Amino acid sequence: MTWTSVLNFTATSILWIAFACFIVVALRNIIALAQLLVAAWVFMTRVRPSAGARDLWDRYADLSPPISVIAPAYNEELSIVQSVKALLALEYPEHEIIVVNDGSKDDTLGELLRGFDMYETKRTQIALLQKTRILATYRSRRYPNLLVVDKENGRKADAANAGIGFARTPLVCVIDADSIIEPDGLLRAAEPFMYDDDSLVAVGGAIRIANGCTVRGGSLQKVGIAEEMVPRFQIVEYLRAFLMNRVANAHRNTLMLISGAFGLFRRSTLVEMGGYRHDTVGEDLELVVRMHRFMRDNNRKYRIAFVPDIVCWTEAPAALRGLDNQRARWQQGALETLQRHRRMIGNPRYGRIGLIAMPQIVLEDVLGPPAELVGYLVLPAAAILGLLDPMMAIAFFFVSVVFGCALSVGTLVLEEQQLRRTPTAKDLLRVGVAAVIENFGYRQINLWYRLTGFRRYFRKENSWAAVPRVGFTTA
């Protein structure tokens, strides 16, 4: 092979890579635009104005099914007492709080025992779903609906399974221990079950970033915006995920993810499925994908719904340190889920889940991140070397960065029109600025973190690096 042949082959390869990157990124953004338009249409035509807490209570107090709220906790001593206080104060007719201490190495258990005057008691599990040993169970002298389960460390999926095994209610709500549910959040999430014909198996709700908000006595007192830029960028990401992606997918009955920060499930379905899997770092995505597969394999009528109203606030990583582990874990979990359920991809047996939803996950989580990151390097290089029309590189910049800015700002407009939870015009401007500048640096850093998830997946790493927490701002 001559040097000329080598150079021609290299040039051709670069061109093919450049075109592939452009097509993948453009297709992903077209889908995102379609989701934004569908979400806007749903909000304008299908979503009723949010009822007040008292109206919800008057309407559903006698209809609301009992709920067990399960909060897995690992090294949460900074915020666990406030979080549990918020759960106890939820405006719901009948609910039990089950906090599962998953072998914390800090003083999480001690904070619970002292903060709620706990004493050791006996509680029998009615379903054994976890893999690790239960060490003890505790009841509160002051709060009869509070149960604390102390167990050996087995990660969140194992802790959630332990809580499901102790629950005795028809519905279970699985949350992160560092999350704060809105006072009427359970009522809002449970509302779809009250109109149900026994086909509804799960409901997700919108999640917002609590960094910068003021918390008193375990409840959110004042909505605020964090001073750090990293949490502001995540506000924009969460708006896109919940007001655009989730709303559009739920409307098409292709919702594939219910956030681990808040999810409401029919307990009998979870038990029948065996609960969460223990051998993945993306247990929330895997659970919902497996739920679709389980129900369709058994030819059962089912629905998975989404509530666009804010139901929960969660603490996000305040700096890039911590965000890297979180995003790499999310990426690794997506790859593990796709590998485990690969026979669903493009399979007409699973209807729109196999033909639409699963290929969309492949595009967004397998092809998208490396295509965009490689495109930032290959297209400008190809243009400089004269292999590609410079307008092609400019077009790639437009569809990846400028178009991303437009989508973020569009989602922010949708949030302001429908929910209006940004407290002041100044705060709205600060989030709007973050929606633009996140595309210049932060977005690319996140792509790199996701490639780290690829590396962890291929190395079959199963370690779980905790995200550093700073705790809630208290009044």
Nearest to 89 by CA among 192, 220, 208, 193: 220
Confidence check: pLDDT of 417 > 90? no
d(CA 149, CA 72): 9
Map residue 307 onto helix, strand or coil: strand
Percent with pLDDT over 90 in the chain:
55
Higher pLDDT, 98 or 214: 98
Most confident of 46-55, 308-317, 357-366: 357-366
Type of residue numbered 429:
L
Task: Look at the block and give the residue holding tokens 């001690």.
Answer: 110
**pLDDT (tens digit per residue) in 221-248:** 888 888 899 999 999 999 999 989 999 9
**pLDDT for 140-198, tens place per residue?**
999 999 999 999 999 899 999 999 999 999 999 999 877 788 888 898 889 889 888 88
457 versus 422: the higher-pLDDT residue is 457
Which pair of tokens denotes residue 246? 């989730």
pLDDT at 318 (0 to 100): 87
Collect all residues with Cβ–Cβ distance below 8 Å to 339 and sequence separation of at least 6: none
- The residue with tokens 């603490």 is 315
Q: What dihedral do alpha carbons 284, 267, 270, 193 form, nearest 10°?
A: -70
Which is more confident, 53 or 473? 473
**Given the structure tokens 């790493």, which residue do they identify?**
461
**Exposure pattern of 151-182 as b/e (b: 16+ CB <10 Å)?**
beebbbbbbbbbbbbbbebebbbbbbbbbbbb
pLDDT of 449 strictly over 90: yes
CB 410 within 8 A of CB 36: yes
Q: What is the pLDDT of residue 345?
A: 97
Q: How far is CA 367 from the centre of its chain?
A: 20
What token pair was written down for 274?
A: 């065996």
Residue showing tokens 């209570």: 57
Residue 456 above 60 pLDDT? yes
CA distances from 425 to 39, 310, 416, 421 (A): 24, 20, 10, 11
CA dist 429 and 111 (Å) reads 39
Helices 3-45, 403-418: inter-axial angle, 10-degree rounding: 10
Q: Each residue of 465-475: pLDDT tens digit?
A: 666 666 666 65
For the chain, the residue count is: 475
Q: What's residue 51's pLDDT?
A: 56
Greater confidence (126 vs 475) lies with: 126
Express each pLDDT in 315-332 by its tens digit.
889 888 889 999 999 999
Q: What average pLDDT is seen over the chain?
A: 88
Residue 1 has pLDDT above 60, yes or no: no
Q: For residue range 262-305, what is the model confidence (pLDDT) as tens digits?
A: 999 999 999 999 999 988 989 999 999 999 999 999 999 999 99
Token pair 């029948």: residue: 272
Cα separation, 182 vs 310, whole angstroms: 8
How many Cβ atoms sit within 10 Å of the Cβ of residue 2?
Answer: 7
Confidence of residue 334 (pLDDT cuts 50, 70, 90): very high
CA distance 7 to 386: 13
Do residues 194 and 297 lie in contact, with contact meaning Cβ atoms separated by under 8 Å? no
* Type and span of the H or E element at 295: helix 283-297
CA-wise closest residue to 224 among 412, 423, 472, 428? 423
**Structural domains in the chain, sorted by start:** 21-44+354-464 (no CATH), 51-344 (3.90.550.10)
Q: Longest C-alpha distance within the chain, in Å? A: 84
Mean pLDDT, residues 3-31:
84
Six token digits for residue 415: 């949030």
Q: How far apart are CA 434 and CA 456, in angstroms?
A: 30
